[in-house]
Amino acid sequence: MSSADAKLRAWWSYKQGLDGRLTGLTAAEVLAQTGWQRSVAGASPYLALFARAGIRRQEVDAALAAVEIHELPSARGCTYVLPEEDYALGLAAGSGFGAMPEMRTAMKLGVTEAEIGSLRQAVLDALSGGALEPDEIRAAVGDAARSLGPEGTKKGVSSTLPVALGFLQESGEIRRIPVNGRLDQQRYKYARWGLSPQADSMVFQDLARRFFGWTGPATMAEFTAFSGLGVKAAKAAVAPLGLVDLDGWLILPEEAEAFARFVAPRIPAYSLIGSIDNLIQLRSDYASILGPDDQHRAKRAKGHAIVDRGRVVGFWEYDPEAASIVWMAFGKPDQALVDAVARTEAFIREDLGDARSFSLDSPKSRKPRIEALKEGKLA
């Protein structure tokens, strides 16, 4: 492993707060510093906040209930957990990526813009009395929503209601709330809101500044993929930032000197992170956080990871039947790693009950990977 590669990985880990420096901050403050956390009805947001600041589920859920943090359709139309200060930007960055593709599909099935407009108003009227679950909304709006039949189901748009809900979320007119107040489940109700997306021309410039602040140095290709923009639009968004080029890696000018002075820590700092943690998913370049002797492991990297100073040094999964973490390290584990596993295991057992990667993850679907970890077959 070259010292340059080790420094880069350690810097990413430092920027992501995986060195413990964010302990004591709130969930919103951690997300503001380290980036919007991808959420797909799995445990990753909880794991991310625990790994960075030791924040327990009850504190995260309280911040969610107080709307200090929230799940919103954001970059590329994907759902992230954001801090309150970024709600307007997140909605603007996701506009056109989520609901519009569904609308185009629906229009091919005979749905009109006027029909969806009427349904949107019917939904707002239905929510005037308080938050409702989708079936309750469907009953309240009556004939304003309709099924799109087998063909619609085949194309992923079963009825007009999800299309209307998507537009209403993108515009900030409604928000989606987990029924039991937790981020790692997939049952929601909807409530009227009234938040306006950021409306100026600096939306993607602001998004670019945050992206490179969360995870720079990064490449133009990585920002393009994160933002969902085309190459030309991404370059236009980045241009005003005056990024410094470090052999193809781009960094904010105000951070270039600090990066030049940065020295990778000599003492290990282990964290157990989720499969879509920001250390991994912001740049979507798993190979860059693997050491040179571990590149062959990238094909096996479909679950949760153990990292040390930004480098993946092992894999793990949670076995709810045994109420324990099953894990393997690439090298001989030291006591600090054993302790890190024990801390995360206790957190999951006491606060979460499981550590799903995404909504369809289950103990049954995870069992082959758990068995492979036990037998060392992911090495």
Residue 51: Cβ within 10 Å count: 27
This model's pTM is above 0.85: yes
One-letter amino acid for residue 218 of the chain? A
Contacting residues for 323 by C-beta, under 8 A, at least 6 apart: 349
Domain 200-264 fold: Arc Repressor Mutant, subunit A (1.10.10)
Report the first-to-last Cα separation within the chain, whole angstroms: 18
Question: For every one of its 379 residues, what pLDDT tens digit does the chain have, with 9 covering 90 and above?
Answer: 456 699 999 999 999 999 999 999 999 999 999 999 999 999 999 999 999 999 999 999 999 999 999 999 999 999 999 999 999 999 999 999 989 999 999 999 999 999 999 999 999 999 999 999 999 999 999 999 999 999 999 999 999 999 999 999 999 999 999 999 999 998 999 999 999 999 999 999 999 999 999 999 999 999 999 999 999 999 999 999 999 999 999 999 999 999 999 999 999 999 999 999 999 999 999 889 998 888 888 776 678 999 999 999 999 999 999 999 999 999 999 999 999 999 999 999 999 999 999 888 888 899 999 998 988 876 5
Domain boundaries, the chain: 96-170, 200-264, 270-374
Specify whether the CB–CB gap between 275 and 341 falls below 8 A: no
**How far apart are alpha carbons 268 and 227 in whole angstroms?**
33
Residue 314 bridge partners (DSSP): 306, 329
**How far apart are alpha carbons 266 and 247 in whole angstroms?**
25
